[in-house]
Amino acid sequence: MNNYSVKKLSKLAGVSVRTLHLYDELGLLKPSVRTEARYRLYGDKELLRLQQILFYRELDFPLKDILAILEDPAFDLEQALEGHRKALLAKRERIDTLVGTIDKTLVTLKNNTMLQVEDLYEGIPNDKMEAYRAEAMAKWGKDTILSAEETLRSFSKDEMRALHAELNNINARLTVMMNTDPKSAPVQECIARRFKIILQLSGGKIEMGKLEYFRKLGELYVQDNRYTPVDGMPSMELAQFMKAAMDYYIETQGEK
C-alpha cells in the first residue's frame, strides 16, 4: 500500500497541487488520511480515482458532473456521454461557421488591399494603357499577359510598394557605381538582387514573354517617374540589366 503526498501525487498524475486541493475541497478526491499536521496523504485507491477524474476532465466534463458520475453508481453514464457528444458536435458546427466567417472576412480584406488591374497601370493614361495591353497580348500571347497581371496582383499594395522602393534603391546604388568595374562584387550583388525581385514578380518562374512584358512595363513606369531611372542610362537599358541578371542567375544556379 503506497502513500503519496500532494506533491508526489501531483507529479504522478500530472496535475498541480492546487488542483488536488481544489478536488479535496469539492469532495471529488479526498485524501485517505490526514497527518497530525493536516498533511494530505493519498493511497492507491485515490490514485485510481484521480485517473478516472482526469479521463472525464479530458472530455471537457465539468467537475460537478464528474462528481455525480463517480459518486452515483446508478448514474446513466451512457446518456451523459451521448448528451456530451451532442454538445461537442454542436460546438464543432459553431466553429465551422466561425471559420467560414473569418475566411469570408479575409477575402474581403484582401480584395481591398490587393492590386486591381487598373493599379498596375496607374499613372499611365487610359488609352495608352489599353493600347499597350492589346499590343503586349498580341506580341507575347494573351495568356502570358493575363498570367503576368495575375501574379503581380497577388501582391498586396504594401508589398508592391516595398518592391518598388527597393528597385529604386538599387537603381540609385547602381548610378553611384556606374564607373566601377561591372564585374565587382557590389554591382553583381545589385544585379542579383534585382533579378530576384523580377523572379518574385514573375511568380517564381522565368518566361521570356513575361520578362519582355516587365521590361516594357518598366519603361512605362520610368516615363511616369514611378522609377528613378539610372542616370545616364536610357530606360531601354533596363533590358540589359535584366539580361545581366539572367546571366548571373544561370551562372550561380550552374554552380550549385
User: Sign of dihedral through CA atoms 29, 33, 35, 36?
Assistant: positive
202 Cβ contact list (under 8 Å, min separation 6): 148, 151, 210, 211, 214
Helices then strands, counting H and E runs in the chain, come out as: 12, 2
Q: Are the beta carbons of 132 and 117 closer than 8 angstroms?
A: no
Q: Is 11 in the site for a second copy (CB under 8 A)?
A: no
Nearer to a second copy, 18 or 110 (CB): 110
Residue 118 CB, nearest approach to a second copy (Å): 23
Q: Is 18 in the site for a second copy (CB under 8 A)?
A: no
Q: State which H helix or E strand residue 169 sits in.
A: helix 157-176
The footprint of a second copy on residues 88-127 (CB under 8 A) is 88-89, 91-92, 95-96, 98-99, 101-103, 105-106, 109-110
Determine the interface stretch with DNA among 7-15, 163-171, 193-201, 228-236 (rule: CB under 7 A): 7-15
Nearer to a second copy, 64 or 92 (CB): 92
Q: Is 25 in the site for a second copy (CB under 8 A)?
A: no
Contact code string over 14-33 relative to DNA, x by CB under 7 A: -xxxxx-xx-----------
Q: Is 72 in the site for a second copy (CB under 8 A)?
A: no
Nearer to DNA, 17 or 129 (CB): 17
Q: Which of 45, 64, 85, 142 binds a second copy (CB under 8 A)?
A: 85
> Which set of grid coordinates corresponds to residue 244?
545581366
In sequence order, the β-bridge partners of residue 14 are none
Binding site for DNA (CB under 7 A): 5-8, 15-19, 21-22, 35-40, 57, 62-64
